[in-house]
Amino acid sequence: MKVTIVGVGQTPFNRNCGVSIRELCFEAFKDALEDLNLTPKEIDASIICSAPEYDRQRSPAGLIAEYLGLNPQPTFLAESICSSSSTGVKVAYSFIKSGLHDIVAVIGFQKMSEISSAEVQERMGRGADIQWESPFGPMMPAGYAMCARAHMQKYGTTEEQLAKVKVKSGKYSLLNPKAMYRRAVTLEECLKARVIASPLKMFDCCANADGASCMILASEEKARKITDTPVSVVGIGAASDTQSTTGRANLTGLNCAIEAGKQAYKMAHITPKDVDVAEVHDCFSIAEIMAYENLGFCKPGKGGKLIEESQTYIGGRIPVNIDGGLLSKGHPIGATGGSQIRTIVLQLQGRAGKTQVDGAEVGLVHNIGGVGLYGNVTILKR
């Protein structure tokens, strides 16, 4: 039995959205249901995806299921930090594949504006080992800065190549009405920006955001009655790595992404060359370059050259993050994976507008939690 995605939705990503988490999720849910032959009561289960401690609501799954009219169907909470909503998709896929449920809604959200940036960094830092790592200061920017330094030392990657990742994301965010930062940036602006954690500068880092996303998955049999344009989930990979970066074999790539990619490719019976369009977790510019390599879009050490040659633009060898990515679209932690999947679903349905990749049939989503702690890769097919 095939598992499909029949509907996708997303709120705009922004700071200070001005609404509650239940209203954020309702907006994404409503967007996903649009044009579907489906009512909330026909959804068998819901999976709510969010990282804890950014808002005051404990056990948000119950609150959101109630507000969306999904009671008395079961609801569950999935959490793997920044990869929470792609983890939710894996759980939903398992529910449907096993025959336990036929239609499952996966809703990811985060409202990060209720606390200060310093408080956000402190909470994100606690995603690392709180005894041996986070007390000594390696918050998220520092963790990826170590990866950038290691990559530069081993492969000769340059700050200009890192900056070009942001230049690309800015170009495409202009075309995404749901992106937080809808403006282009120049290479010079990126290189002159203030340093956050050397060599990463301000434009090398994604921004905290408020937002929600929604995906509705269904069995192939049910999908035929819901929509004319279902997208098949053909490959799912998931892996993890050590909580502390001191336990890693190297810092020039993310082993969890490499392993998750291998699993997904094997399950989908494809190779990296078969992927027409991809969304990767560019929380920092170095993360996108490492993703090129970890997913097999180029050889290790050649990621900088790939962006330098514009091979990840539309018209290049493999278009990547042509919705602006996390760097320009924003990163509301629990909603991010769902937003990435939404982008690929729209591409495969031919509904991506000005960023449509001609003839896109196979799409890939790479969603990471923490500094390579959790890795999820999802492959979708038209």
Kindly list the catalytic residues: 82, 331
- Quick one: residue 16, left, alpha or beta (phi over 0 = left, psi -120 to 50 = alpha)? left
What is d(CA 98, CA 238) in angstroms, rounded to the nearest whole number?
18
| Residue position matching structure tokens 């041996």 | 132
- Bridge partners (DSSP) of residue 105 are 46, 216
DSSP conformation letters of 280-344: ---SBHHHHHHHHHHTTSS-TT-HHHHHHTTTTSTTSSS-B-TT-HHHHH-B-HHHHHHHHHHHH
What is d(CA 9, CA 178) in angstroms, rounded to the nearest whole number?
11
C-alpha count within 13 angstroms, C-beta hemisphere, residue 125: 18
What is d(CA 254, CA 272) in angstroms, rounded to the nearest whole number?
17
Element (H, E) at 213: strand 210-219
110 vs 57, 135, 343, CA distance in Å?
11, 25, 18
Name 341's Cβ contacts closer than 8 Å, sequence gap at least 6. Answer: 5, 8, 85, 86, 89, 213, 215, 279, 365, 378, 380
What is d(CA 232, CA 262) in angstroms, rounded to the nearest whole number?
19
What is d(CA 102, CA 95) in angstroms, rounded to the nearest whole number?
8
DSSP state of 13: P
